[in-house]
């Protein structure tokens, strides 16, 4: 029984090698035909046709392998005699295949799709700390890698879309030192020309309140140490959860209801400096988004550094649109217990 299986395995391997040889021969003839004498070309064409015909009718169980072996041997010898200078070794073919795969992967990452990890809770409840997402880099246009120069624009960001962008704050501001060069992810709430106002946790765009559901109480989720000046703080009090809709994008955001006795510290300008900027923004009344920029906010409204903190986001630093959560794991939980299976391959709205 074992001998029969071995013979069948050898037959399959022979067929695989024969097909590879036939493919290689046709490729070499197509590229090097002009360098060969007509008689040599005719001889190789005849051997190729014989091999093609034999493979078309070859049965791995009943056909005579000797004829196929002889054809392969003859064609291989002729190729080596007349086209040996152009043939590639197995090692070279393997290396070239690996290099091509790497090049294609880099091109995809540079221009089409890039992976991104959610580092903080600023987009809770839409995105959680430990979510791994794919970002569509082509949707807004193609940029020259490692620069902010855009080759062409496909379309501009729209209200409600979740985008990834390079930190847009003033590099001369010492408060921005830790954020320079980092990627951020937020939701676009206003586009060029929009008039925006935030009043009592209500968002107004062009004088109209953005519609949402009746707020309901729910857990806030923890702030990360990156968000807080005092790393001993823990935020585990109650938030209002709100379902909202913005230009066809339905999403959920949250804002805080205040401190509770369970909190280890109070959320104020000493522990969370962005709070001061939020108050200033709320008191400024209506502002207009300039051309070539968007106004972004985190869905975790009171726990997010965003346009209320460092201003508008210019188009040329936007990397792409968040697409899908492909992997999610709670970084504070165990290897297996922390995996959030239900979030796998969920679309980002």
Catalytic: which of 186, 319, 321, 329? 186
**Which of 122-126, 181-185, 266-270 comes out lowest in average pLDDT?**
266-270
> Cα(170)–Cα(174) distance, rounded to whole angstroms?
9
- Give the pLDDT band of residue 248 (cuts 50, 70, 90): confident
Let me know: does 250 contact 347? Beta carbons within 8 Å: no
pLDDT computed for residue 257 by the predictor: 62
Reply yes or no on whether the pLDDT at 308 is more than 80: yes
11/131 same-domain check: no
> Cα(218)–Cα(254) distance, rounded to whole angstroms?
9
Catalytic: which of 25, 122, 244, 304? 122
CATH of the domain at 272: 2.10.109.10
122 is catalytic: yes
Its domain, for residue 44, covers 2-87
Reply yes or no on whether the pLDDT at 282 is more than 60: no
137/83 same-domain check: no
Mean pLDDT on 89-114: 88
**Which of 18-32, 255-269, 301-315 comes out lowest in average pLDDT?**
255-269
Q: Which residue has the tokens 């676009």?
A: 188
**Which of 62-66, 290-294, 320-324 comes out lowest in average pLDDT?**
62-66
- Buried b / exposed e over 300-309, threshold 16 CB at 10 Å, is bbbbbbbbbb
60/118 same-domain check: no
150/48 same-domain check: no
> Cα(292)–Cα(313) distance, rounded to whole angstroms?
8
pTM of the model: 0.71
125/250 same-domain check: yes
On the 0-12 / 13-18 / 19+ scale of CB atoms within 10 A, 36 is: middle
Higher-scoring residue by pLDDT: 175, 73: 73
Assess if residue 101 is contained within a domain: no
Q: How many CA atoms does the CB half-sphere of 270 hold within 13 Å?
A: 4
């Amino acid at each position: 029984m074992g001998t029969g299986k071995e013979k069948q395995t050898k037959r399959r391997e022979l067929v695989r090698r024969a097909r590879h040889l036939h493919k290689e021969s046709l490729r070499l003839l197509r590229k090097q035909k002009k360098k060969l004498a007509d008689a040599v070309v005719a001889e190789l064409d005849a051997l190729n046709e014989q091999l093609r015909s034999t493979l078309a009718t070859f049965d791995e169980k009943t056909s005579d392998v000797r004829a196929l072996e002889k054809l392969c041997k003859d064609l291989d010898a002729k190729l080596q005699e007349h086209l040996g200078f152009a043939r590639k070794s197995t090692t070279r073919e393997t290396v070239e295949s690996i290099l091509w795969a790497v090049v294609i992967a880099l091109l995809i990452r540079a221009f089409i799709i890039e992976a991104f990890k959610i580092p903080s809770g600023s987009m809770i409840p839409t995105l959680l700390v430990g979510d791994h997402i794919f970002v569509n880099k082509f949707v807004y246009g193609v940029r020259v890698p490692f620069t902010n120069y855009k080759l062409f624009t496909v379309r501009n960001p729209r209200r409600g879309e979740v985008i990834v962008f390079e930190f847009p704050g003033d590099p001369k501001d010492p408060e921005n030192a830790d954020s320079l060069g980092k990627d951020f992810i937020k939701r676009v709430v206003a586009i060029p020309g929009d008039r925006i106002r935030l009043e009592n946790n209500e968002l107004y765009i062009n004088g109209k309140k953005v519609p949402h559901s009746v707020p309901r109480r729910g857990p806030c989720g923890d702030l990360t140490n990156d968000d807080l000046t005092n790393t001993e703080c823990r935020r585990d009090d109650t938030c209002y959860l709100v379902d909202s809709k913005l230009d066809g994008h339905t999403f959920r955001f949250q804002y805080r209801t205040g401190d509770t006795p369970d909190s280890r510290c109070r959320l104020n300008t000493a522990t969370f400096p962005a709070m001061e900027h939020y108050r200033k923004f709320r008191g400024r009344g209506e502002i207009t988004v300039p051309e070539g920029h968007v106004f972004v906010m985190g869905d975790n409204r009171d726990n997010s550094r965003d346009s209320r903190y460092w201003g508008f986001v210019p188009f040329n630093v936007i990397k792409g649109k968040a697409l899908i959560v492909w992997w999610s794991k709670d970084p504070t939980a165990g290897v297996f217990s922390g995996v959030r299976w239900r979030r796998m391959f969920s679309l980002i709205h």
